[in-house]
A and B are shown apart, each in its own frame.
Chain A
Amino acid sequence: MAVCTGCSLLCDDIEVSIDGRRITKTKNLCRKGFGRYRSLASDRSVPRVDGRQAGIEEAISRAAEMLRNAKRPLLFGWSCSTLEAQRKGIELARRTKAIIDDTSSICQGEIMDMVIRKDIPTCTLDDVRNYGDTLIFWGCDPSSSHPRHMSRFSYFPRGEKLQRGHEEDRTAFLIDIRTSPTAKILAGNFIQISPGGDADLIEAMLAVLDGKIPRVRDKKAMISMMNRLKKADMGVIFPGLGLAYSLKGRMDRMKALVDRLNETTRYNVIPMVGHYNMRGFNQLLFDETGFINRVSFADGVDHGPVYSVVEASKSCDLALVVGSDPISSLPAGIAKALAGVPMITLDPHRTLTTELSRVVIPTALSGIEAGGSALRMDGVRIEFDPIVKSEYPSDEEVLSKILEEI
C-alpha cells in the first residue's frame, strides 16, 4: 500500500502496480491524488543557478552561499514536505537567524493555532467515522478539496457506533456561500450565507442556544438545526477556508460557539487543512518555539504578523521557498514584491516561483519518490516509503547538505 500526499487526508490505502520505474496502475486514488501521481512524469524542475542550467550539487552550494551571506532571509513553504525535512528547515532557520513561515499564514493558521494550543477540542478522523453523528462542514467543499473525506471518514461510512450510516445515524450540515458539489450532496441541510455572514450566523446560533429568537430570515430552519446540533452524542465542525477568511481576526467567535455547544454535549473541531503536511509543520514549530508560524530567529525567538510571508516578502533580502509556489498563490501585489527578492526554490516541479528563482533545486516527490512521515489534518502521524526510485534528492537530503555547507 502507498500513501497519497495529494491532500492532508494522506490516504494510506493506495494500491500501485509498478513496471520498473513506471507506475502502470493505481487503485483508490481520487481525481486530485491521481493528478499528483500523473505529475511524476510532467514538467519536472531542472537545477539552475543564476539563470543557467547547473548540476544539483552546484545549485546546493550556491544556495548555501546565498543563505550564509543573507542578512534577513525568509524560509517559506514547508506544507508539502515531510516532518523530517521540516525539522531540518527549522534548524536551518535557527542557524541563519531567519524568518520562517508556512502556508498556514495565509489560510488556516488562526484555527490551527487554537487546535494545537488545545484552546478548542479536537479528535481524530477515525473518531469521526466511528462516533461523529452530527457534522458541520463550514466554508468548505470536501467533494472538491478533500475528495475522499466524506467517503473514508466523515459522512458515508458505517462507523463502529453508527452502523446505519448517513441514512439514519449521521446528520451533516453545510454552511457556505456557494452551491458547491458538497452542497448538492447535502442539499437538505445546506445553509447558504452571504459573504462575511459567518459571524452573524454564529451570533444567531448562540442566540438559539440561549433560548432567544435568532435574527435570521428563516428562524424555523435555524431553530430546527440547533435542536439537531444539541442532540449530538459527538459533533464535529470542519472549518474550511471560507470560514477562515470570513472570521479572520475574530476566531474567538468560533471558540465561543464550540464552548457553548460543549456545555451540553461534545463538539470537536478539525480544520480542513489543504496541503498534506501543514499541520506537521505547525506542530513541529510549536513544539520548538511555542508558535505555529510567523517566527523570527534573528534574536532568540520572536513571533508576530511582521514575520508573516505577506510582510516578510517585502522586507527580506533572500527567500528560500520549499515545496510551495507563493508567486502563484499570493496576491499579485505581494508576489511582485517577492519576485524582486533573490529566491532559492526546492520543488519537484516547474512552478511560477521556480521560473523567477535565482537557484532551483529539483527534489523528489514525497510519497512517491521520497519516504518520510507527516501529520494528517487531524494530527495522526502517517509514515510512507518511496514506491519508485528517483534521480532527485528529497527535501530532507537537500536541506541537510545546505546545513553542512553553511
Chain B
Amino acid sequence: MKVTIVTFRDIFQSEAQEVDRFGEDYRRMSAVVFLDKSDAAKAGIKDGSNVLVESDNGRVVVVARISEDTHPGLAFMPNSPWSNQLVPAKTDDTRIPSYKSISATISVTDDKIPTVEDLLRELVS
C-alpha cells in the first residue's frame, strides 16, 4: 500500500521521551503508524499488526493502528528515531529535511519492532 507519511508530535510520547528515551513506553508510543481505516482494510492490515514501512531512504518495522478519523492516502507517525529511518537524507536548497511528507509503502510483516539500541547498532554498522 502506497501512502504519504506525515510525522507529528504526541503529548504522551513527548512525556515518555522526557522521562526515558530508551524505555519501553517511548518505544511503544513512537514505533507506530496510524492508518486510514479503509486503506488498512484494502491492504489487509489489522489494528496491532506489525508492518514494514519502506521509503527510498530506509525501512522500519512498527505497529499499525487504525485511526478513528478518515485520512485516505495519508499515514501518521509520531516524530521519533523510528520515523527518521524513512526521512530522506537528501534535502533541497533550504537544507531542511522533509519530515512531514514522505512517500512510503506499507505491508504486513512478521519481523520484530527494533529497539532504540537496534537502531543505534544499525547506524554505526
Contacts and interface: CB of A to CB of B under 8 A. Distances in A.
Contacts of A105: 95-96
A178 B76 contact: yes
Interface residues of A, number: 57
A336 B81 CA distance: 12
A163 B36 CA distance: 41
Nearest to B99: A245
Interface string B73-92: 01010011100110111111
B97 A242 contact: no
Q: Which of B20, B71, B95 has the largest number of chain A CB atoms within 10 A?
A: B95
Contacts of A43: 19-23
Contacts of B120: 327, 352, 355-356
B58 interface: yes
Given A178-B71, A330-B97, A331-B97, A352 B116 contact: yes
Contacts of B90: 333
Contacts of A30: 11
Interface in B73-125: 74, 76, 79-81, 84-85, 87-101, 116, 119-120, 123-124
B11 A147 contact: yes
A245 B100 contact: yes
A141 interface: yes
A333 B21 contact: no
A143 B11 contact: yes
Given A143-B11, A195-B100, A356 B124 contact: yes
A108 B9 CA distance: 15
B97 A144 contact: no
A305 B93 contact: yes
Contacts of B8: 141, 144, 178, 180
Interface string A127-167: 00000000000000101110100000000000000000000
A305 B96 CA distance: 9
Contacts of B91: 310
A242 B8 CA distance: 9
Interface in B11-26: 11-12, 14-23
Nearest to B78: A144
A333 B93 contact: no
Size bracket of the B interface: 35 or more
B100 A35 contact: no
Contacts of A147: 11
Interface in A322-347: 325, 327-336, 339
A47 interface: no
Interface of B is mostly: loop
A333 B58 contact: yes
Interface string A68-82: 000000000000000
A332 B118 CA distance: 13
Nearest to A311: B95
A363 interface: no
B18 A32 contact: yes
A51 B74 CA distance: 43
A332 B84 contact: yes
B96 A332 contact: no
Contacts of A356: 120, 123-124
Contacts of B23: 43
A311 B89 CA distance: 10
Contacts of A335: 84, 123
Nearest to A176: B8
Contacts of B57: 331-333
Given A35-B15, A245-B99, 10 more contacts: A105-B95, A109-B96, A110-B96, A143-B11, A178-B76, A242-B100, A245-B96, A249-B92, A310-B96, A333-B88
Interface of B: 4, 6, 8-12, 14-23, 57-58, 69, 71, 74, 76, 79-81, 84-85, 87-101, 116, 119-120, 123-124
14 contacts: A32-B18, A43-B20, A43-B21, A43-B22, A109-B96, A110-B94, A179-B71, A195-B4, A241-B100, A328-B21, A328-B84, A330-B84, A332-B123, A352-B116
